[in-house]
Amino acid sequence: MSLVARVAPMQNRMIEFVRALRAAGIRVSLAESQDAMFAVDHSGVRDQGAFKNSMKATLVKNQRDQPIFDYFFPLFFKNNKPPLQNILEQLSPEQEQLLQEALQSLMGDVDALRDLLRRLLEGREFSDEELQKLGESAGLAQGDEMYMRNWFERRMNRQAGLTQLERMLDELLEALAEMGMSEEALAQLEEMLRENMQGLSEQISQHVGSSLAEQMAEQEPRERPDLLDAPLQRLSSGDIEDVRDEVRRLAARLRTRAALRQKRAKSGQFDPRKTIRKNMRYGGVPLDVQFRKRHRKPSLILICDLSTSMRYAVEFLLTLVYELSDQVRRTHSFIFIHDLVDVSTTLAELPPREAVTRIMAENPPGYYSTDLGNSLNSFHKEYMRLIDSRSTVICFGDGRNNYNDPRLDIARDMQRKSRRLIWFCPEPRRQWGSGDSDMWEYSMYADRVFMVNNLRQLADAVDRILAEG
């Protein structure tokens, strides 16, 4: 193959990479793209480190954009197939015989799962055709943003059988133990099986990431919306720090507005209707002037969904509310994924931003199953006493519950016992009730539902609650 024939595909790949960076929010001009081409012509592509440094030096101008570059680079320029080992070749004849007998004992299991287990033992990767087929079944071709990556990965892992395979692995190891395989051999076999399983999962992850990156590269760069109006679920990593700064500015503005309301409320606000009624006995002459009641600070209880799709939104809500803590009578805060966690103490003892950072670190994302019903049950058992007639309960989440019991009876009791129960929901009404969404049912026991899909809507909802006291 000629040099020109080899260079052309690399140039096309570099162009796709630049387009993906633009779609992810990095500003790259045409001149900078040309500089990258010239730099690579000089440094070459054989030395991966020099190649990456040349690209980064010409394409990245801002330090906060470096993580985006580092995230996308391996999706375009590395062979990320994880190494798998053939386990059968490393077993003794006796161990292999025991393994064959144990596999026979699992004949009752689904054929697809047994085939997948055989793939693990032989160390066979998914072929490009198999990954393509899994992606088509998962709807991967419809993805156009990197925030969808975790969702597509979970979906493809389920369709490939990796999620269900965990149970089958346990059954296989248990059968081998009963047949007399030594603990040492069992431990080595389990380690190799799980390493191969992790390798297959990583292969799916890389396929999803590369596919989404290539699909992003095919789009025309979108005009970046005002940060206040940008959907919280679609914020790029480069936007997050800007939004955190914007949250602090919003808190300052909301505090000023709240303080003005408090100042007006100190002496009361003239109430013409009450004054007229009170002075009917004087023929309508206003001798006894009446004022509206003084504004009262709200007492809040926050219950927030910290699953992957909601993390940034919850971070901004907690930061905003605790920046405004002087405008709130008291606040109790809880987060949940599969169960409830009380984070009130951390938020009370540390500055808002530091406290929220610690909460996010101590409750990392992972392969959890969101279970709001179970979390409400935990709240009912341990914290229901916190709700009284002055409490405003705010549930922040999309109402998706993985088909678990939504515990609507607890939501009803919380509404009855509190002053009001409010939902902050990021999904539009047209998506309520789709799939595992219980949002329509939850909305029946809410005094109000706020659509909160961007920072402006979040700030408006918080301001309304502070204003109503």
Secondary structure class of 384 (helix, strand, coil): helix
Residue 16 lies in a domain: yes
Residue 227 lies in a domain: no
Same domain, 253 and 329: yes
Tokens standing for residue 449? 């539902």
Tokens standing for residue 444? 């029946």
Same domain, 250 and 182: no
Per residue in 410-433, pLDDT (tens digit) is 999 999 999 999 999 988 888 898
The alpha-helical segments, DSSP class H, found in 329-405 are 344-349, 352-362, 372-382
Nearest to 217 by CA among 7, 14, 11: 14
CA distances from 78 to 134, 170, 198, 330, 383 (A): 22, 34, 19, 52, 51
Is 367 within 8 Å of 201 (Cβ atoms)?
no
Rounded to 5, what percent of the chain is helix, strand, coil? 65, 10, 30
* Position 58, amino acid: T
Same domain, 60 and 191: no
Same domain, 69 and 97: no
Residue 155 has pLDDT above 90, yes or no: no
Residue 11 lies in a domain: yes
Residue 228 lies in a domain: no
Same domain, 13 and 150: no
Last-in-domain residue among 51, 78, 105: 78
Q: What is the pLDDT of residue 37?
A: 85
Residue 224 lies in a domain: no
DSSP state of 124: P
Same domain, 99 and 209: yes
- Cα within 13 Å of Cα(67), Cβ side: 7
Last-in-domain residue among 40, 57, 78: 78
Nearest to 135 by CA among 163, 155, 121, 115: 155
Nearest to 18 by CA among 39, 1, 44, 2: 39
Residue 80 has pLDDT above 70, yes or no: no
Residue 441 has pLDDT above 90, yes or no: yes
Q: What is the pLDDT of residue 4?
A: 39
pTM assigned to the model: 0.55
Same domain, 104 and 252: no
Secondary structure class of 337 (helix, strand, coil): coil
Residue 431 lies in a domain: yes
Which CATH number goes with the domain that contains 398?
3.40.50.410
Same domain, 52 and 105: no
Same domain, 438 and 394: yes
Residue 83 lies in a domain: no
Tell me phi and psi for residue 401, to 5 degrees: -130, 15
DSSP state of 220: P
Residue 243 has pLDDT above 90, yes or no: no
Q: What percent of the chain has pLDDT over 90?
A: 13
Structural domain that includes position 166: 88-217
Same domain, 213 and 316: no
Per residue in 318-348, pLDDT (tens digit) is 888 888 777 778 889 999 988 999 999 998 8
- Beta-ladder partners of 393: 301, 421
Per residue in 372-412, pLDDT (tens digit) is 999 999 999 999 999 998 898 999 988 888 888 999 999 99
Measured at the CA of 216, the angle between CA 83 and CA 398, to 5 degrees, comes to: 90
**Burial zone of 121 (CB within 10 Å; 0-12 exposed, 13-18 middle, 19+ buried):** buried
Same domain, 372 and 251: yes
Rounded Cα–Cα distance for residues 26 and 123 (Å): 39
Q: Edge-to-edge, what's the strand order for the sheet holding 340-342?
A: 340-342, 330-336, 299-305, 391-396, 420-425, 448-451
Highest mean pLDDT out of 100-114, 118-132, 289-303: 118-132
Rounded Cα–Cα distance for residues 293 and 274 (Å): 11
Rounded Cα–Cα distance for residues 155 and 323 (Å): 38
Residue 229 lies in a domain: no
143: left (phi over 0), alpha (psi -120 to 50) or beta: beta
Greatest CA separation for the chain = 109
Last-in-domain residue among 78, 98, 117: 78
Residue 2 has pLDDT above 50, yes or no: no
Same domain, 52 and 133: no
Average pLDDT, the chain: 80
Domains contained in the chain, number: 3
Q: pLDDT band at residue 5, thresholds of 50, 70 and 90?
A: very low
Rounded Cα–Cα distance for residues 66 and 86 (Å): 38
